[in-house]
Amino acid sequence: MNRHDLSSGLFWLGISIFISYQAVQLGVGAFSNPGPGFVLFWSSLIFGILSIVLIIKSILGKGGERILADSWRGLKWSHVLVTAIALFLYASFLTQMGFLLMTFCFMMLLYALGKPKPWITVASAFVTIMLAYLIFHFALQVEFPRGILGW
């Protein structure tokens, strides 16, 4: 059994059921007078059928024996997890904290993943945000959130 494909197939099947329901709510219409949910409905229906095919193939073992952990074995997946969480935190607090402060913290964290000396991490993050601010704010006139620092 290919648990890899089985899990993704089940996930996509759930998505297709949800989208089909939404499309029906919108109004599928008829072939002679298609409604706003027409393409959405047929796309999600075919998508659902393909998901079932993927599930069946995975149960029959056509993609070989695989478990979910196979894709992460021997890799530095913790870096990805930390970065993804940091990205979401960055976007969540960007407006409140401001571009400069939030980006400085974000870049420090990302540089620290490479395990350089602490002062190199701080200096690199500082230089990066200054350059980014100069280029994007002053040269390209991007208005960043000022946040608690008011800059």
Partner 1 sequence: MYGFSIALQPENLFFCLVGSVLGTLVGVLPGIGPPGAIAILLPVTFKISTTGSIIMLAGIYYGAMYGGSTTSILVNIPGETASVVTCLDGYQMALQGRAGPALGISAFGSFIAGTLGVVGLMLFAVPLSKMALKFGPHEYFSLIILGLTFVTYLSHGSMLKAIMMCFLGLMLSNIGLDPITSTPRITFNVPELFDGIGIAPVAMGLFGIGEVLVNLEQTVTTELVKTKVKNLFPSKLDWVESKWALVRGTLVGFVLGILPGGGHVVASFLSYGLEKRVSKHPEKFGKGAIEGVASPESANNSAASSSFIPLMTLGIPPNVTLSILFGAFLIHGITPGPFLIRDYPDVFWGVLSSMYVGNVMLLVLNLPLIPMWVQVLKIPGKYLYPLILLFCLIGAYSMNNSVFDVFVMIIFGVLGYLFRKFEFEGAPLVLAFVLGPLLDMNLRQALLMSKGSFIDFFIRPISAVTLSVSILLLVSATFPFVKKRLQQYRESVDED
Residue 54 token pair: 């993927």
Rounded Cα–Cα distance for residues 119 and 142 (Å)? 29
Amino acid at site 25:
Q
Q: Which long-range contacts (CB under 8 A, 24 or more apart) does 72-75 make?
A: none
CA 134 to chain centre: 28
Residue 146 token pair: 């000022």
Question: Per-residue x/- marks for partner 1, 101-140, CB under 8 A?
Answer: --x--xx--xx-xx-x-------x---x---x---x---x
Residue 104 token pair: 């400085």
Instruction: Give residues 19-58 in contact with partner 1 (rule: CB under 8 A).
Output: 19, 22, 26-27, 30-40, 43-44, 46-47, 50-51, 53-54, 57
- What residues make contact with partner 1 under the rule CB under 8 A? 4-5, 7-8, 12, 15, 19, 22, 26-27, 30-40, 43-44, 46-47, 50-51, 53-54, 57, 63, 71-72, 75-77, 79-80, 83-84, 87-88, 90-91, 94-95, 103, 106-107, 110-111, 113-114, 116, 124, 128, 132, 136, 140-144
